[in-house]
Amino acid sequence: MSKRLQPFPTLVLDLDGTLVDSLADMTASLNRLMAAWGLATFAASDVAPLVGDGTSKLVERAFSARGRSAEARDAEAFLADYVAHAPGATHPYPGAPEALSALRKMGWELAICTNKPAAATRSLLDALGLARCFAAVGGGDSFAARKPDPDHLLGTIAAAGGKASRAVMVGDHANDMDAARAADVPSIFAAWGYGAPAMAAGATAVARQFSELATIAPRLLR
């Protein structure tokens, strides 16, 4: 009797603060929007805590910090400006291309699960030469739900052709850890990202450098 092979493993990664450092570009686009309204601009360190729930929430929180309420057109203006200037200063974290290549050679499929809109995500990945690495992109507008709802993660895994029982989630935000926990998927907290250390609560493992993913992820599925 032939031995039944297990489904291929899937590594799902958050985008901003996990795969790429895009803080400078998000800050620049946000500040151009603030300047257009005559509002005070932000330092990158002030923008980092606002990231993680999609572009609309980012803009909403920025306006709130300036005592104003954002409108739908403000989020649209931010996104249009951001896409027009991408990839700008955005770059993969050190060791990311090499680790992704190593994982693919080990038989892993890769996917992106981000609250950023899918089109903007694909455009950025393509500009950075990373699009070919990923079997699926689950954006904040790809499904009826988005992180921390587990259906966002589960939908992304399915889009990549994987199974939740053979998947691992990597992210730098509590949303990533919460979605993974609710989906019963092991998680790796990306300690190099924008999230506060406390957001690692509930993670199955913590990685200090991107290169560690190729070692940690397989261990979590044994």
Q: How are strands ordered across the β-sheet holding 167-171? A: 136-138, 109-113, 10-13, 167-171, 187-190, 205-207
Number of Cβ within 10 Å of residue 184's Cβ equals 11
Q: Which residue in 14, 74, 172, 176 is the catalytic one?
A: 14
Residue that is written with structure tokens 């913590």 in the block: 206
14 is an active site residue: yes
Torsion of CA 185, 19, 219, 169, to 10 degrees: 0
Structure tokens, 151: 């259906």
List active site positions.
Answer: 14
